[in-house]
Amino acid sequence: MTPLLATKGLSRNFGGLRAVDSVDFTLMPGEIRAVIGPNGAGKTTFVSMVSGRIQPSSGAIVFDGTDITSLPAYVRVRQGIAYTFQITSIYANLSVYANVALPVQLTLRHGPSKSAIQAAVMTALERTGLADRAHMPAGQLSYGHQRLLEVAMGLALKPRLLILDEPTQGLADSEIDNFIVLVRDIASSATVLLIEHNMPVVMQLADRITVFNAGKILAEGTPEAIRENAAVQEAYLGTAP
Amino acid sequence: MSEASPAKAYALHLGVIALLFVLSFMLPDYYHGLLARIMVLAVFAMGYNMLFGYVGLFSLGHAMFFGAGLYGAGLAIIQLGWSVPLALLGGIACGAVLALAIGLLALRTTGVAFMIVTMMFAQVFYLLILYFAAWTGGDQGQVVPQPARVLNLGATSLDLTNPTVRYMSALVLFALVLLVTLAVVRSRYGRVLVAIRENEERTKMLGYDTFSNKLIAVVASGTICAASGAAYAVLFGYVGSSFASVQYSILPLLWVLLGGAATTLGPLIGTVFMYYVIDVTSGYTSAYLLIVGIALILLVLFFPKGILGSIRQRWLGWLP
């Protein structure tokens, strides 16, 4: 089976800092993959290169068998890579409905009717539990609901690969439980790449975990294997006495 | 913003057009001529509003697009002896081509830099008009000869110097641009423009080519402004460099801010209001610009969204 996403020697320098250092990474279709690592490990820089927000200094990115390294971000989105922002980035002055209508009208480009747009918007809002808030200005949503709106906008793109950058950051525990259900639901139709700091979430959701440290992949494996991995424990907790 | 009430919105706009039509038979001569001029300039403001209001691109160089239409049409008649319809098309084409070239260059910048770059290009355009005075008439400008200002439509010919014909021609242009603007704003493309204004980075990550969308908006905006300029040359018969000066880049901004940026009818209301204030105050004092300035400051302080923008915010959320 061809991997959905593969990177070869992917690197990015910021001045003298090598934020991502020749990373070889593969992701199979249908997976939920968590990317974890200490702050400054290069996780966000890595997914930003995959989504096209940042250009790599060197290396290649292959999506579903095609080299996408030189494609601009908006083309990658159209090919099925959706990115939800770590720092909530919604259209605060537009209604929740309008926020989701924008990605929907892109996916329905060929002969979209008003009713088709409406149906697709409401589907995305119902999956994220925002349907009853459709006509509120997005800026008036609670923070947790704004995070969900981010995901709804990603879902509306009907992605093959959905990148979630710290989606549970700032959410209440009750909201996190709903979120786990939602991500499982998403994973039935898309591959999920999840950057996450909340370990219980990672352990419950991920099929496999990739650990970043200092711009490199430190370890990769099932949640159990990562939990037992001595190098990972060292990176997170310091050297064992 | 709202998805509902397209019928209401179209009814309102058709109502405004009908009102302007009826006013033609009721206004005294002076105001009749003034309103014709205001309608043509409101088209200029609508073109500016498309870029400034909806895409959030702050240009200080739109006088060059108005000027391109004005000189494109005017010189085509004066120097080349073109007929009115051809000259109008020529003027509009000048504006469109200029907007495409300026857009390709200026859209590499945003914010204050975009403002400065557009202003510099407009100054170049203005100085070129003065430099080629032999052709353009320089700072004196040129008059489009009355006999040339005739629109031949098959067997009938319309004398554009006749006040009623001039008023109705201005109204036709105004109505056309107003309805096109309304349709664009309510379309999917209009929603993308607003999305770029609100959050360009996010819009890119939703799969939109924001550069191309902005370029199309610059060309559309420049073309509308050029249409206004071309109509001005043909209807009012004067082609002058003051219309390409920086003052005419600032005026559409003021009209739009007054009426309400990102509202379809705001440019008309702003232009009418500004002319009305100037008209009234200049009757009392020669320092009327001072009063206009104070009125503007008060408006920006208390109604930062402009007349129609404030009305929309407080009472009529469905206004497009």
| Residue B1 to residue A98, Cβ atoms within 8 A | yes
Where is A101: in which H helix or E strand?
helix A96-107
What is the percent of chain A with per-residue pLDDT over 90, rounded to a whole number? 60
* Phi (first) and psi of residue B154, to 5 degrees: 60, -120
Interatomic CA distance for residues B289 and B100, integer angstroms:
35
Interatomic CA distance for residues B35 and B24, integer angstroms:
9
Please report the pLDDT score of residue B2 as a whole number. Answer: 43
* Token pair in block for residue B127: 């100085």
Interatomic CA distance for residues B4 and A87, integer angstroms:
31
H helix and E strand count, chain A: 9, 10
B254/A contact by beta carbon, under 8 A: no
Confidence band of A98 (pLDDT split at 50, 70, 90) = very high
Distances from the Cα of B135 to the Cα of B71, B86, B131, B230, angstroms: 10, 19, 9, 17
Per residue in A190-212, pLDDT tens? 999 999 988 889 999 999 999 99
Say yes or no to pLDDT of A232 above 90: no
Nearest CA in chain A to B206: A103
Q: What is the nearest CA distance from A142 to chain B, expressed in angstroms? A: 19
List the single best residue of A91, A99, A162 to mutate versus B (max B Cβ within 10 A): A91
Interatomic CA distance for residues B244 and B129, integer angstroms:
9
Nearest Cβ partner for A102 among B191, B209, B210: B191
Residue B167: alpha-carbon gap to chain centroid: 17
Q: Which residue has the higher pLDDT, A50 or A171?
A: A50
Please report the pLDDT score of residue B211 as a whole number. Answer: 95
3-state secondary structure of B153: strand
B22/A contact by beta carbon, under 8 A: no
Interatomic CA distance for residues A23 and A4, integer angstroms:
16
Q: What is the mean pLDDT of residues A107-127?
A: 82
Beta strands B150-153 and A208-213: pairing type? unpaired
Residues of chain B positioned with their CB less than 8 A from the CB of A82 = 205
Q: What is the nearest CA distance from A157 to chain B, expressed in angstroms? A: 7
Please report the pLDDT score of residue B176 as a whole number. Answer: 97
Residues of chain B positioned with their CB less than 8 A from the CB of A74 = 204-205, 207-210
DSSP labels, B255-284:
HHHHH-TT-SSHHHHHHHHHHHHHHHHHHH
Nearest Cβ partner for A74 among B2, B3, B209: B209
| A58 CB neighbour count, 10 Å cutoff | 12
Please report the pLDDT score of residue B320 as a whole number. Answer: 77
* Phi (first) and psi of residue B209, to 5 degrees: -80, 90
Q: Percentage helix, strand, coil, to 5, in chain A?
A: 40, 25, 35
3-state secondary structure of A207: coil
A-proximal residues of B, 210-249, CB under 8 Å: 210
Nearest Cβ partner for B207 among A78, A95, A112: A78
Please report the pLDDT score of residue A109 as a whole number. Answer: 62
B194/A contact by beta carbon, under 8 A: yes
Residues of chain B positioned with their CB less than 8 A from the CB of A97 = 3
B-proximal residues of A, 31-70, CB under 8 Å: 51, 53
The DSSP 8-state label assigned to residue B213 in this structure reads: H
Residues of chain B positioned with their CB less than 8 A from the CB of A77 = 205-207
Q: Are A50 and A3 in contact (CB under 8 A)?
A: no
Q: Are A94 and A138 in contact (CB under 8 A)?
A: yes
| Residue A105 to residue B188, Cβ atoms within 8 A | yes
| Residue B206 to residue A101, Cβ atoms within 8 A | no
Residues written for chain A: 241
Nearest Cβ partner for A94 among B198, B205, B208: B198
Amino acid in the structure at residue B178: L
Please report the pLDDT score of residue A16 as a whole number. Answer: 86
Q: Splitting chain B (320 residues) into consecutive groups of 10 residues, what average pLDDT does each group show?
A: 68 94 92 94 97 94 96 94 92 97 95 95 96 90 86 80 92 96 92 94 93 96 97 94 92 92 93 88 82 81 86 80
The C-alpha R_g of chain A, in whole angstroms, comes to: 18
Please report the pLDDT score of residue B98 as a whole number. Answer: 97
Q: What is the mean pLDDT of residues A41-51?
A: 93
The DSSP 8-state label assigned to residue A61 in this structure reads: E
Burial of A115 from C-beta contacts in 10 A (0-12 / 13-18 / 19+): exposed
Nearest partner of B247 among B268, B274, B282, B213, judged by Cα? B274
Interatomic CA distance for residues A155 and A134, integer angstroms:
16
Interatomic CA distance for residues B76 and B84, integer angstroms:
9
Interatomic CA distance for residues B222 and B61, integer angstroms:
10
- In chain B, where the domains are located: 6-244
Nearest partner of A67 among A23, A5, A25, judged by Cα? A5
Residues of chain A positioned with their CB less than 8 A from the CB of B187 = none
Please report the pLDDT score of residue A240 as a whole number. Answer: 54
